[in-house]
Structure 1
Amino acid sequence: MARKARTLHTCSECGYSSPKWLGRCPECGSWGTLVESGATPASSSSARVPSSLTPAAPATPITRIDAAASTSLPSGIGELDRVLGSGVVPGSVVLMAGEPGVGKSTLLLEVASRWASLGRTALYVTAEESVGQVRVRAERTDALKETLYLAAESNLDVVFGHVEQLKPSLLIVDSVQTMHAPGVEGVAGGVAQSRAVTAALTTLAKTSGIPVLLVGHVTKDGNVAGPRVLEHLVDVVLNFEGDRQSSLRMLRGIKNRFGATDEVGCFEQTAGGIREVPDPSGLFLSHRGQTPDGSAVTVAMDGVRPILAEVQSLTVDPVAKNPRRVVTGLDNNRVPMVLAVLQARAGERTNEKDAYVATVGGMRISETATDLAVALATWSSLHEQPLPPKTVVVGEVGLAGELRRVPSLERRLAEAARLGYEYAIVPAGEKVRVPGMRVAQAATLREAIGLARPS
């Protein structure tokens, strides 16, 4: 005799299920996230042998499968294609997450417009705005195209009806947390609904070959909102991020079944919409005719992409007894350590000055390869002596004052040489030859300061 159905409580953060309510999820540790998600029938006491089903299509030898069906198509936006691998793969599902107001909807509307401008049909489904609101934004960003269709729908069945009528070659859904699947219990954005909507759209993509781009919200921790199963169902997970105080936007790959996840796309938020930045180094270098004191140019790696960045340091007499350390765009713990090494190993009296260290253009750098730039920019500010013109510095500073090698050094210097830099100060121990650039090696921070003194 079959038992009664059991009520399940599912965590809205990670999808963990429990037959009873718990205050804290045992899986992810979140409090108050277990909600009732319906009942599941209990298994019968007697085991059943599943009956065999006739497959809709026979299994095919892998050598007979046409690989051309999965050839990627250009989206019309080069920076997006760079992150995706080589373009949009037919039948793929891409989830783009990001904070509110960062520009996800504007970017995907631009994708739909570029897609339509190539003579293909795109369907943009918005469940958060009206078609009038999207039309106004499309006018502002010059995204009006005849083969770009809009639909303001939150019912998943109606969306499938639009797909059946239009047969688009690209489907954009904004957002997956606001869509509702009829017949599934729970509210839109809940665990059951988000899972059902994503699974249905994934099935649609795989069976029809239509690529689907989904907009996803993020939690306060920066993770994709909803159960973790969403990231497992889709093919690609992208994170669109940026500081609200800066126009720079970065598109990073978190998961990609068709390419690497270390590529980064750069965009700029303007009054006319989202603009591609194929050469982002220019955003982070101040336009100046003469090198000022307190400034050093370095090369940071964002994924596999080298980007030139300017580090500035300002040292002034302290107002209080304890000198201040104000850091913007760099590691708050790393910069004071580099200043301490500069004092202990190079004899510079950094403890007698307030130090303000920042990057230019709103760039955020977390890697240690910028240590030497912080040290030389501070030395330059202390002595009011600028570094030699067209100089780039790269290196990690150790607590003993030694300079440590950094990865991809030759690639970094090649990018600097491409932008016209002629002199580089790097850690000793690695043979680097870059055409058109003179490379000087230093074993210690004190040696690097000697090389940075204008002759």
Structure 2
Amino acid sequence: MPKARTRFICDDCGAETPQYFGKCPACGAWGTLQEQVISTLPTTTQRSPLTTRRSPSVDPLPRLALTLSEIVDHPQARLSSGYTELDRVLGGGIVPGSLVLVGGDPGIGKSTLLLQVSQQLSQRHRVLYVCAEESGQQVKLRAQRLQIESRGDDSSLAVAAANLYLLPEIDLEAILQELESLRPQVGVIDSIQSLYWSALSSAPGSVAQVRECTAALMRFAKQHHVPLLIVGHVTKDGAIAGPKVLEHLVDTVLYFEGDRFASHRLLRSVKNRFGATHEIGVFEMVDQGLREVLNPSELFLGSRDEVTSGTATIVACEGTRPIVVELQALVSPTSYGSPRRSATGIEYNRLLQILAVLEKRLGIPLSKLDAYVSSAGGFECGRTRRRFRSGDRGGC
């Protein structure tokens, strides 16, 4: 009989401990350890293959490793998503057999973006949309609200209606069976934290469930050359929920960012095995869903026709595309003992460094003035995305 034992796994970092602690000993997070029951098979006395010696008279095993010249190059055409901004972030389009992870805050528009992309792809390819968080009726209501079924000519709409399939399911085995049966050219999983594998005793969204479900989907994508787009939730710190191995398994990691009170959205690439990293795509939220912005400089420029004090126009290089951004600054006498510093869109420590240089070299008494700096349109420089913790201030 296999012996059952219990271990505790941290939901944030994936560390394992034999007993429960209120605080994770690895990352220091509170209340993140979850209990998981595993079974241990009895050990055998079978020798390791590394210690097994072969007789010299026996023929050697065939060589499996290949040199670079022996590997046959198979050029693969990328699939166009129908949106120029998304294709730019992906490095030219969707690579067959790739695993793309899309993360973002709740309500930022991840499901809306992937539903619109699925409709565009279904005009040329068969698409399976797995809605693990919603029913098929809810997805259809969103499609009707966004008027997705009326985009395109009559012939393309007829093809899209026959090629877009919805599957409201959370069971991983049922999803893999449907993928094997339907054999779509593109698959969408919304979301990975909602999937459940019955072989594990942990709840959906736990570290073990997310890790094993992602690994199973990755094996299917590589074996059948089917690209899969996966939605991932984020924690309160701004990182994708689940173990860190989730971002290592996938080929591309995209962050969908934006202010809830602003209309624009930024799709940023932080990992891409098939293209440049830190590439951004700009979208605008309108009444019919997301609309791509082909000229982002118009969105991030304020009153550029007038000469206004406290404004400056700079060129920020994001990925392979330069973007013109307007910076706005304001200083005023402080009413408290220590001046206040506020930064929106730029790094807070960078602001403090600039203020110190101005006071030292130019003699401006900025230590007695409040300083407020922001970028027009709420654009955030995303050279390096970091996790926000309590006590951090300013943009990334």
Greater Cα offset, 181-190 or 314-323:
314-323
Establish whether residue 135 from structure 1 lines up as the match of residue 134 from structure 2.
Answer: no
TM-score, normalization by structure 1:
0.71
Which amino acid in structure 2 is aligned with residue 175 of structure 1? S
* Partner of residue 292, structure 1: 308
Establish whether residue 216 from structure 1 lines up as the match of residue 232 from structure 2.
Answer: yes
Equivalent in 307, 322, 329 of residue 313 of structure 1: 329
SS in structure 1 at match of 2:323: strand
Check conservation: 2:103, 2:231, Cα contact below 8 A: yes
What is the CA–CA distance in structure 2 between the aligned matches of 1:334 and 1:88, rounded to whole Å?
Answer: 36
State the number of aligned residues. Answer: 360
Equivalent in 245, 270, 276 of residue 292 of structure 2: 276
Which amino acid in structure 2 is aligned with residue 113 of structure 1? Q
Alpha-carbon offset, residue 258 of structure 1: 1.7
* Partner of residue 331, structure 1: 347
* Partner of residue 377, structure 2: 361
Establish whether residue 173 from structure 1 lines up as the match of residue 189 from structure 2.
Answer: yes
Which amino acid in structure 2 is aligned with residue 345 of structure 1? R
Greater Cα offset, 343-352 or 144-153:
343-352
Equivalent in 254, 260, 284 of residue 238 of structure 1: 254
What is the CA–CA distance in structure 1 between the aligned matches of 2:45 and 2:334, rounded to whole Å?
Answer: 81
TM-score, normalization by structure 2:
0.80
Larger Rg belongs to = 1
What is the CA–CA distance in structure 1 between the aligned matches of 2:250 and 2:305, rounded to whole Å?
Answer: 49
* Partner of residue 111, structure 1: 117
Q: Structure 1 pair 335/113, CA: closer, same or farther in 2 (3 Å)?
A: same
* Partner of residue 44, structure 1: 43
What is the CA–CA distance in structure 2 between the aligned matches of 1:239 and 1:223, rounded to whole Å?
Answer: 9
1:55-204 mapped onto 2 (5 Å cutoff): 67-68=73-74, 70-117=76-123, 119-144=124-149, 145-146=160-161, 147-204=163-220
SS in structure 1 at match of 2:378: coil
* Partner of residue 11, structure 2: 12
What is the CA–CA distance in structure 1 between the aligned matches of 2:292 and 2:112, rounded to whole Å?
Answer: 13
Gaps of 5+ in 2: 53-62, 150-159, 384-396
Alpha-carbon offset, residue 87 of structure 1: 1.4
Q: Structure 1 pair 324/92, CA: closer, same or farther in 2 (3 Å)?
A: closer
Q: Structure 1 pair 105/366, CA: closer, same or farther in 2 (3 Å)?
A: closer
1:335-414 mapped onto 2 (5 Å cutoff): 335=351, 337-339=353-355, 341-348=357-364, 355-365=371-381
Alpha-carbon offset, residue 136 of structure 1: 2.2
* Partner of residue 243, structure 2: 227
Alpha-carbon offset, residue 24 of structure 1: 3.3
Which amino acid in structure 2 is aligned with residue 250 of structure 1? L
Q: Structure 1 pair 257/352, CA: closer, same or farther in 2 (3 Å)?
A: closer
What is the CA–CA distance in structure 2 between the aligned matches of 1:343 and 1:29, rounded to whole Å?
Answer: 39
Structure number with greater CO (CA < 8 Å, separation at least 6) is 2
Q: Structure 1 pair 26/315, CA: closer, same or farther in 2 (3 Å)?
A: closer
Q: Structure 1 pair 336/260, CA: closer, same or farther in 2 (3 Å)?
A: closer
Check conservation: 1:331, 1:366, Cα contact below 8 A: no
Check conservation: 1:91, 1:206, Cα contact below 8 A: yes
- Identity level (%): 46
What is the CA–CA distance in structure 2 between the aligned matches of 1:28 and 1:320, rounded to whole Å?
Answer: 37
Check conservation: 1:6, 1:42, Cα contact below 8 A: no
Which amino acid in structure 2 is aligned with residue 129 of structure 1? E
What is the CA–CA distance in structure 1 between the aligned matches of 2:268 and 2:104, rounded to whole Å?
Answer: 11
Alpha-carbon offset, residue 331 of structure 1: 3.4
Gaps of 5+ in 1: 53-57, 368-455
Show CA shifts across 1:67-117 (max 9, x none). 336442222222222222221111111111111111111111111111112
Q: Structure 1 pair 274/347, CA: closer, same or farther in 2 (3 Å)?
A: same
Alpha-carbon offset, residue 337 of structure 1: 4.8
Show CA shifts across 1:361-414 (max 9, x none). 1112478xxxxxxxxxxxxxxxxxxxxxxxxxxxxxxxxxxxxxxxxxxxxxxx
